[in-house]
Amino acid sequence: MSILIDADTTFIVQGITGREAVNLTRECLDYGAGAKVVGGVTPGRLGREVHGVPVFDTVAQAVAHHGAPIDGSVVTVPPAFTKDAVFEAIENGVKLIVIVTERIPRRDVAEMVELATLRGARIIGPNCLGIIVPDVIKMGGIGGPARNAAQAYTPGPIGVISRSGGMTTEMSSTLSAAGLGQSTAVSIGGDAIIGQSYAELMPLFEADEQTQGIVIYTEPGGRMEAELAKWVTEHNSRLPIVAFMAGRFMDEMPGMSFGHAGTIVEGKEDTASEKIARLAQAGITVAERIEDIPSLIGDKIAERSAV
Amino acid sequence: MRFFEYEAREVVKRAGIPVTDFGFTTDPGEAREIAQRIGGPTVIKSQVLTGGRMKAGGVKFADTPEEAEAYARDILALEINGHMPRGVLVDPKAEVEQEYYAGVVWDGTRKQPVMIFSPVGGIDIEQVAEEQPDKVGRKHFSNILPFGDFEAKEVIASTGVTGSALNKLTPIVARLAKLFVENDMTLAEINPLGRLKDGSFVALDAHMDIENEARGRHKKLLKDLGVGDEETRQAREATPFELAGEAVDSQDHRGVAGNVTEFDGNLGLVIGAGGGSLTLFDAVRAHGGQPANYCEIGGNPSVSKTCGLAKLVLQKPGVDKIAVMMSIVSNTRVDIVARGVIKACLELGHDPAEKIAIFRIPGAWEEEGFKILEKYGVEYADRSVSLNEAARRAVEKIQGTTAASETGAPGLIPGGHT
């Protein structure tokens, strides 16, 4: 199985007529069994089509046209309009929203997440590439064109969660090359506040029978790793976890952020070295190099199944 | 972006929170005039974006306007932690009975702002939280429900404060919470918040950070405060090399080829994307390499933009070779980056095979990219070569020997400030 999405998931693309969104739509339609992209929304463009997907002015029109609730939305509108687009999706019954847009102020993200929580919806991102279930479906630009995505992602037992979109693919490709496929890979976004953190996705992977181990990519900044360490300790998780920490050099450059907005260190718990210590305390192995990840997670899975 | 104290106090004042009758100036003579207007003892405070100014002699107490002028002259010439002051703040010396703390920050885990209040102020709040945890109150508030003053009242009352102090503090903390949200702050802190002899409260110092991503919607405030668009106020100011990187990145709107940070090494880096750059920078250093720069490519930049970035790095004094490396790309095209970096070498009269230590970018359009690299004899690698191994090869090439990975990373030296 998978988490968040499967072959039956329906979704729309908000901002579908933008250059990147047009490509993303093509990629999703082409990948695996072909995503059910049931509509697109760009205000003022009602009646157009993007790769055969009908375009609407409003999410409500898309839902009416589909004739049933729509599961998800990929939001690719500019930062100033993102909050309204996400509110529109949530208020029209969409339960899973992938926000691709970068550079959205934290206040807007926090408002979107709070509304989503009130309505029982889930936000992935912002500043993320989305979700992929290898050979089945992808929702977002993750892995790129279908052909490239197929090269990196293969089905298997590993759940991947990453604060970097590109590194989701790099790590999955490394796992695939070592014969370890992925159950679902989620690019959760690189901002300081995001919809779903590691700890919030863990219960889903925990409940997914296909998933036998978790690999995460992490960076300095924020408390998300501390939250994961706490979750793992408190829930006696069945899933072994291997983490990779990038940006260790940032500990020598206090006050600066590199790579993603979320890497800004705002407290002493946010540094790479503090996080590594915290993860290790919770029994999470921190890999020194990406190429070490397959054997580390493979060994940990073997260890657990031997017990 | 960090505000100077005098700006942060202005923000506090505009929100209706009482402040002292302070003045800001860059001129010692004017400091005397402000002190005269205030009448009585004053405090002269250096306006720098760094901590420890008290210890460094950046805060002085003056009894007369003449003293204020003399101290202002000293402080204006005093460098603190490598920062020259923007000016001085001339503040009436308040008769403070007790110092309190009030602050608002984001809680990324709860995804809500959190108010923090303490009747123990004037020192670092993290220290108070460690030593007297019962003296620190915390309360989250909603992003979408209207803010209620009772929420401020609750956080204050939770620390044992009652009586008229509670009633006077409530609107101050409530206004601080509102200004935090309205101005897209990532930190809004009044410390100390002083209770004067007459029982009134006044903000004696303030720290504020506005989120960079939100600067666009606070143009009026920034203009009123005199903050220019070009002022980034990073922990260190941009070097000419870094500014040149920004110029390259803004030459067109396609993708990113920039986010340059300068270091004092000999290996130029043309790397990407966000996470890939962080991973690669660490890997180069783990193998004993000395990066000349950090940068990011992503989102499929044009050939000319990639070329511009590569040229900038190649022309940096002390750079012998560049390593062109990225995590697997799906949006950015391998062939476009290959074209850009080869063009940069050729236009500068270099042999690409000599100057490019390694090219490791697998992914979209890699066959086309590798063909171009082959034509010019550039060493390239596909996804079977890890980021770490690519970095090792690059370091080995530039050192001409086996990489000294056992010795670990040498200290990181930020460049361009000598």
CATH number of the domain where residue A240 is located: 3.40.50.261
A263 at B interface, C-beta within 8 A = yes
Q: Please indicate whether, in this complex, the C-beta atoms of B278 and A258 are within 8 angstroms of each other.
A: yes
pLDDT tens string A228-269: 999 999 999 999 999 999 999 999 988 888 988 888 777 778
- The answer to whether A129 touches A140, Cβ cutoff 8 Å, is yes
Q: Which of B126, B216, B329 sits opposite A166 (nearest CB)?
A: B329
Q: Please indicate whether, in this complex, the C-beta atoms of A291 and B386 are within 8 angstroms of each other.
A: yes
Q: How big, in percent rounded to 5, are the helix, strand and coil portions of chain A?
A: 40, 20, 40
- The answer to whether B273 touches A164, Cβ cutoff 8 Å, is yes
Q: How far is A113 from chain B (nearest CA, A)?
A: 8
B149 at A interface, C-beta within 8 A = no
B330 at A interface, C-beta within 8 A = yes
Beta-carbon contacts of B291 under 8 Å, excluding residues fewer than 6 positions away, are B263, B265, B267, B268, B269, B281, B284, B285
Q: What's the pLDDT at B402?
A: 41
Query: Which B residues, 76 through 115, put their C-beta within 8 Å of a C-beta on chain A?
Result: 105-106, 108-109, 111-113
The dihedral over CA atoms of B308, A141, B383, B346, expressed in degrees to the nearest 10, equals: -20
Q: Please indicate whether, in this complex, the C-beta atoms of A141 and B330 are within 8 angstroms of each other.
A: yes
Beta-carbon contacts of B284 under 8 Å, excluding residues fewer than 6 positions away, are B267, B269, B291, B323, B391, B394, B395
Which residues in chain B touch residue A197, judged by CB atoms under 8 angstroms apart? 109
Q: Where are the beta strands (DSSP E) in B76-177?
A: 88-92, 96-107, 112-118, 137-140
* A3: number of Cβ within 10 Å: 22
Does A54 reside within a domain?
yes
Radius of gyration (C-alpha) of chain A in whole angstroms: 19
Q: Say how far residue B286 (Cα) sits from the centre of its chain.
A: 25
d(CA A15, CA A20) in angstroms, rounded, equals 9
Smallest CA-to-CA distance from A160 within A121, A139, A129, A187 is with A187
- Rounded to an integer, the average pLDDT of A73-93 is 97
Q: Please indicate whether, in this complex, the C-beta atoms of B106 and A79 are within 8 angstroms of each other.
A: no
Strand partners, A75: A14, A99
B298 at A interface, C-beta within 8 A = yes
d(CA B69, CA B58) in angstroms, rounded, equals 14
Smallest CA-to-CA distance from B267 within B406, B381, B363, B410 is with B410
CATH no. for B21-92 = 3.30.1490.20
A19 at B interface, C-beta within 8 A = no
Does A181 reside within a domain?
yes
Q: What's the pLDDT at B403?
A: 42
Phi, psi of A241 (to 5 degrees): -125, 135
pLDDT tens string A198-218: 999 999 999 999 999 999 999
d(CA B6, CA B3) in angstroms, rounded, equals 8
Q: Say how far residue A277 (Cα) sits from the centre of its chain.
A: 25
Domain that holds residue A14: 10-306
Active site residue A66: no
pLDDT tens string A7-39: 999 999 999 999 989 999 999 999 999 999 999
Question: Which residues of chain B are modeled with pLDDT < 50?
Answer: 401-408, 418
d(CA B91, CA B306) in angstroms, rounded, equals 51
| B98-225 shares its CATH topology with B240-407 | no
User: From the candidates A30, A102, A107, which should be mutated to test the interface with B, based on the most B CB atoms within 10 A?
Assistant: A107
Does A5 reside within a domain?
no
Which residues in chain A touch residue B113, judged by CB atoms under 8 angstroms apart? 110
Residue of A nearest to B332 (CA): A144
d(CA A151, CA B121) in angstroms, rounded, equals 58
Q: How big, in percent rounded to 5, are the helix, strand and coil portions of chain B?
A: 40, 25, 35
CATH no. for B98-225 = 3.30.470.20
Per-domain residue ranges for chain B? Answer: 21-92, 98-225, 240-407
A171 pLDDT more than 90: yes
Find the largest Cα–Cα distance for chain B: 82
Please give the ipTM for the structure prediction. 0.95
Q: What's the pLDDT at A180?
A: 98
The dihedral over CA atoms of B373, B377, B382, B384, expressed in degrees to the nearest 10, equals: 180
- The answer to whether B141 touches B177, Cβ cutoff 8 Å, is yes
Angle at B33 between CA B30 and CA B38, to 5 degrees: 130
d(CA A6, CA A138) in angstroms, rounded, equals 9
Does A295 reside within a domain?
yes
Interface A-B: count of C-beta contacts within 8 A: 176
Does A184 reside within a domain?
yes
In CATH terms, B240-407 corresponds, of 2.60.40.10, 3.40.50.261, 3.40.640.10, 2.40.50.140, to 3.40.50.261
Q: Where are the beta strands (DSSP E) in B79-196?
A: 88-92, 96-107, 112-118, 137-140, 185-196
Terminal alpha carbon distance of chain A: 24
Smallest CA-to-CA distance from B257 within B291, B324, B307, B320 is with B307
- The two beta strands, B185-196 and B206-210, are antiparallel
d(CA A80, CA B276) in angstroms, rounded, equals 28
How long is chain A? 307
3-state class (DSSP) for residue B97: strand
Q: Which of A114, A167, A291 sits opposite B327 (nearest CB)?
A: A167
Does A2 reside within a domain?
no
- The answer to whether B270 touches B327, Cβ cutoff 8 Å, is no
Which residues in chain A touch residue B297, judged by CB atoms under 8 angstroms apart? none
Number of domains comprising chain A: 1
Which residues in chain A touch residue B212, judged by CB atoms under 8 angstroms apart? 261
Q: Which of the 8 DSSP states describes residue A106?
A: H
Q: Which of B108, B273, B285 sits opposite A222 (nearest CB)?
A: B108
